[in-house]
Amino acid sequence: MKLFFRLILTLTLSIIAWPLAAQAQLEIDITKGNLEPTPIAVPDFISQSDSGRAMGAQVAEVIRADLERSGLFESLSPAGFLEVQTNIDYEPTYSDWRIIKAEALVSGRIVEENANRIRVEFRLWDVFAGKQLAGIRLAATPENWRRTAHKASDAIYKALTGEEGYFDSRMVFIDEKGSKVERVRRLGIMDQDGANPQYLLAGSDLVLTPRFSPSSQKIVFLSYENTYPRLYILDIESGRRELLGDFPGMTYSPTFSPDGNQLVMSMERRGDSDIYVMDLNSRSTSRLTNDPAIDVSGSFSPDGRRIVFNSDRGGSPQLYVMNADGSGQNRISFGEGRYNAPVWSPRGDKIAFVRTLRGKFSIGVMDPDGKNERILTESYLDESPTWSPNGRVIAFTRETRGRGARSEIWSVDLTGQNLRRVETPGEASDPAWSPLLP
Amino acid sequence: MKPLKFLLLGGVVLGLTACASKPKPAPVQERPVTQAPQPAQPETVQQPPVTTTPNVGQDQPTPGSIEDFAYQSGGEPRVYFGYDQYTLSNEARNKLMQQANWLSNYSNMSAIIEGHADERGTREYNLALGARRAEAVRAFLVAQGIAPNRLSTVSYGKERPIDARANEEGWARNRNGFTNLTSGGVS
């Protein structure tokens, strides 16, 4: 079992900026969506050996897929490339890349230093300006080639957009099997692109709503393993699982505070749900809401000073924001419909939510003061939004209707322009995106 | 028919156990059961008509059994709720009176009351809603004199539907409170 949990990679991955770049000419405005994704060419990375070339092809493939999925880039097909570079330390023949309409070019190589260490080196070229934008060197163990490729994607994304990337990250999710009335759910984890899926728990108990700790090392989730729904924390690497206190009623709806020292959660007593924070060191709890309404889905702002939550105190479920001590509770959602499942963006500038209106479910975003509401999706059932580490993409659960109804994970960017299904081993729900891995 | 015989024998034993621990049980049925009572499978929220007096002349499960509890509760110990509601309808109250009567007669039995919601809400909100429904059922049974320590509640939110249909009829069946009988203490 223990091997099963050996997911946190013991890689020594260093990024070294390498003969560096002048000021960027090619800049991608991330706020405008993918109306015109930037064409980028990523040839297979070159190498001195067959094994290095094989890895170079895989690394380039992962980078192409990452950039393409972001919606900001169009990864050009290598079949159309004219120039074959044999040394990435020389400038490319820009005209060959202009002809195929590439605006950016990534030329890279794999250097196998020894059996346990590779270097992945690449240069990012601005094809139209005819200059280098970045030179990057990553060192890793060979088995970590995939994470290294994601790190490379993050570096390219950052060089071209000015924003942190999100490719070297993972998702926990709930794997779903069986018909609606005989559902079996398992806690799973995978890379953000759906690669390397694994199960984290052996049993078949009902588990729900997994959430990552800020360190990406722990997951808090709801389990029915002892009949009554309770919160548990799982340490991913050790596989150690711990019950978070046995309270008289249901404890559920957990998320970590940004410093990882607290949980915000809901506790139910005699049918009434209120929001509490639990200090994870002392295990003491303090109550933040105190009313007969449903108060659930608490989510900290990234500065830890405020909490957005879901309450039906006004008659229907709506979004409210309060200070982290429970003071100053104010409603922020005033649109038509029911508002649920708020999640504060890691950038702090937006709150994602689920809106229900006229029988349709939507993922939307609004500012923390309720302004600038924007609906990004609509379907029979879209729910459980979770933010990418850079606050630019939202992953969520989408359930289709009727016979053959499926539960899937989808993602959409902040502009609503880039709706995609996330590959999962089977049916899946409740994604929770990790921060960028250390 | 084999499972039915087994049920009958098991039911008699349960019934006798109930006799020993409770002074006034319903009389044990002597005649063989030829047809097991089928729990009602309503197509809609509408419940089959309810008989409040035990129908001793007809096929009937062994008193004190889980089947008997279902039978005496109108087919299934389950009450239904409106969309995003947790108040008990008159129909639900009538059914819960029957559950309370039965539970008064068999005081060795306890129950975990499950609260369920339909799929037209978000997961965490529905867990809260299910808890409200379970509590509404529990509080009613306690008000009828059932000892609180015999009743506990658990919310399954929308995670354990009984009807797979994605339409109003299916959703209506999935909005319910189910009295899940157990023996021994629950809280």
Task: Judge whether B10 lies within some domain.
Answer: no
List the single residue in A270, A296, A402 with the smallest CB-CB distance to B124: A296
Which residues in chain A have their CB less than 8 angstroms from residue B148's CB? none
CB-count burial class (<10 Å; 0-12, 13-18, 19+) for B20: exposed
What pLDDT, in 10s, does the model give residues A154-210? Answer: 999 999 999 999 999 999 999 999 999 999 999 999 999 999 999 998 878 899 999
pLDDT in tens, A346-404: 999 999 999 999 999 999 999 999 999 999 999 999 999 999 999 999 999 999 997 78
Q: What is the CA radius of gyration of chain A?
A: 23
Q: How far is B62 from chain A (nearest CA, A)?
A: 28
Residues spanned by the domain of B135: 68-187
pLDDT tier, A33 (very low <50, low <70, confident <90, very high otherwise): low
Which of residues 82 through 141 in chain B touch A, CB cutoff 8 A? 84, 86, 112, 119-125, 127-129, 131-136, 139
In CATH, the number for domain A11-161 is 3.40.50.10070
Give the nearest partner residue to B162 out of A181, A317, A384, using CB atoms: A181
Give the closest of B125, B155, B156 to A317, CB-based.
B125
Pick the more confident residue, A209 or A10: A209
CA–CA separation, A431 and A407 (whole Å):
11
**CB-CB neighbors (< 8 A) of B133 in chain A:** 271
Alpha carbons B110 and A195: distance in angstroms, whole number: 47
Distance from CA of B125 to the nearest CA of A (A): 7
- Collect all residues of chain B within an 8 Å Cβ-Cβ radius of residue A354: 122
Task: For A275-306, write each residue's pLDDT tens digit.
Answer: 999 999 999 999 999 999 999 999 999 999 99
H, E, C per residue of A105-132? EEEEEEEEEECCEEEEEEEEEECCCCEE
Are the Cβ atoms of A294 and B154 closer than 8 angstroms? no
CATH number at residue B181: 3.30.1330.60
* A417/B88: higher pLDDT: B88
Element at A65 (helix H, strand E): helix A50-69
Domains held by chain B: number: 1
Cβ of residue B142 closer than 8 Å to a chain A Cβ: no
B43 in contact with chain A, both atoms CB, cutoff 8 A: no
- Residue B171 included in any domain: yes
In this model, does residue B1 exceed pLDDT 60?
Answer: no
Q: Is residue B3 part of a domain?
A: no
pLDDT of residue A36: 85
**Nearest one of B44, B114, B118, B46 to B85, comparing CA atoms:** B118
Do B122 and A209 make contact, defined as CB atoms within 8 angstroms? no
Whether the per-residue pLDDT at B17 is higher than 60: the answer is no
| A383 interfacial to chain B (CB closer than 8 Å) | yes
Query: Looking at domain A170-433, which of 2.60.120.620, 3.30.230.70, 2.120.10.30, 3.40.50.300 is its CATH number?
Result: 2.120.10.30
At residue A417, the pLDDT reads 86
pTM exceeds 0.80, yes or no: yes
> B52 CB contacts (<8 Å, ≥6 apart)?
B98
What tens digit of pLDDT does each residue of A230-242 get?
999 999 999 999 9
pLDDT at site A31:
63
- The tens digit of pLDDT for each residue in A203-234 reads 788 999 999 999 999 999 999 999 999 999 99
B36 touches chain A (CB under 8 A): no
Tell me the domain boundaries of chain A. 11-161, 170-433
A268 to B129: CB separation less than 8 angstroms, yes or no: no
> Residue A15: pLDDT band by 50, 70, 90 thresholds?
low
Note whether B169 contacts A: Cβ–Cβ < 8 A: no
pLDDT-derived band at B187 (thresholds 50, 70, 90) equals low
Residue with tokens 């933040």, as numbered in its chain:
A288
A317-339 mean pLDDT: 98
Residue B30 lies in a domain: no
Q: Is residue B84 part of a domain?
A: yes
CB contact residues (below 8 A), chain A span 53-72, against chain B: none
